[in-house]
Amino acid sequence: MSLKNIQKLSFTKIEIEIIKFLFKHFKDKYNARQIARELLLNHANVNRLCSSMVHKNLLRKEVLANSIFYSFDYENKEAIKFIEYILSLEGVIYPKWLQVIMYELKKFNSVIQLGCLFGSSIKNAKFNDIDVLLMYDSKRPFEISKIKEEIRKAGLIEKPIRYVEITDKDISKNKDDKIFYSIISDCLVFNNPTKYVEVIQCLR
């Protein structure tokens, strides 16, 4: 099925949630019951939707013992293009409490290769700090520091920001790092979803 045909299909909010979750959690195996538990969804509904998305060539299923496990179809180029499109919406459609934060973080867009929010700030409005992953060229630390200082001086973000800064070379070095996997698999992409997809593919 081509990307155009995939985009013509209708997807519910829950289906999009499942697709993104499975794409991001590339190291883990999930059956419908586990997906439902992680996303606080109805098991029967998740089972039906996963089966449907297998037929839409977005997910793959694997039968092990008496369980059926689902994963994103990383080998399908059209599915990859589709997930890039879906992830691009994270930088546009996000929780209201992140509005000011996202406005300020987008100041990095012209100098970074990838930007993600992770941690408690993307889960609920009651968070103590803001965790940000920035990937950029090693030749641009001065520009990054300048923007960080600009954000600090603006005073629009009241909570402290904790930055995790990496370069392209750090990706392969952290393939087996559990903390890095936790960050990259449970985040909100605010800059360059195409690069994020490349990072996931590399880590796999």
Same domain, 122 and 186: yes
Residue 89 lies in a domain: no
Residue 32 lies in a domain: yes
Do 117 and 166 lie in a common domain?
yes
Asked whether residue 8 carries a pLDDT value surpassing 80, the answer given is no
Residue 104 lies in a domain: yes
Which pTM value belongs to this model? 0.90
Residues 196 and 98 grouped into a single domain: yes
Q: How many domains does the chain have?
A: 2
Helices (H), 69-134: 77-88, 99-105
Range of 134's domain? Answer: 94-203
Task: Give the whole-number percent of the chain exceeding pLDDT 70.
Answer: 95
Query: Are residue 189 and residue 113 in the same domain, yes or no?
Result: yes
Q: Flag whether 88 is in a domain.
A: no
| pLDDT (0 to 100) of residue 1 | 45
Same domain, 71 and 106: no
Q: Are residues 38 and 131 in the same domain?
A: no
What CATH number does residue 9 fall under? 1.10.10.10
What confidence score (pLDDT) does residue 9 get?
58
| 36 and 46 Cβ atoms separated by less than 8 Å | yes
Structure confidence at residue 11 (pLDDT): 80
95: left (phi over 0), alpha (psi -120 to 50) or beta: beta
Q: Of 40, 57, 83, which residue is a domain's last?
A: 83
The partner residues of 162 in beta bridges, in order of sequence, read 131
Tens of pLDDT, residues 60-92:
999 988 889 999 999 999 999 999 999 999 999
For 87-136, how does the pLDDT look when each residue is reduced to its tens digit (9 = 90+)? Answer: 999 999 999 999 999 999 999 999 999 999 999 999 999 999 999 999 99
Do residue 109 and residue 198 come from a single domain?
Answer: yes
pLDDT at 3 over 50: no
Q: Which residues contact 69 (CB under 8 A, 6 or more apart)?
A: 29, 30, 31, 61, 62, 63
For residue 189, give the nearest of 120, 125, 106 by alpha carbon: 106
Is residue 57 left, alpha or beta, with left meaning phi > 0 and alpha meaning psi from -120 to 50? left
* Phi then psi dihedrals of residue 119, to 5 deg: 90, -165
| Residue 12: band (very low, low, confident or very high) from pLDDT cuts 50, 70, 90 | confident
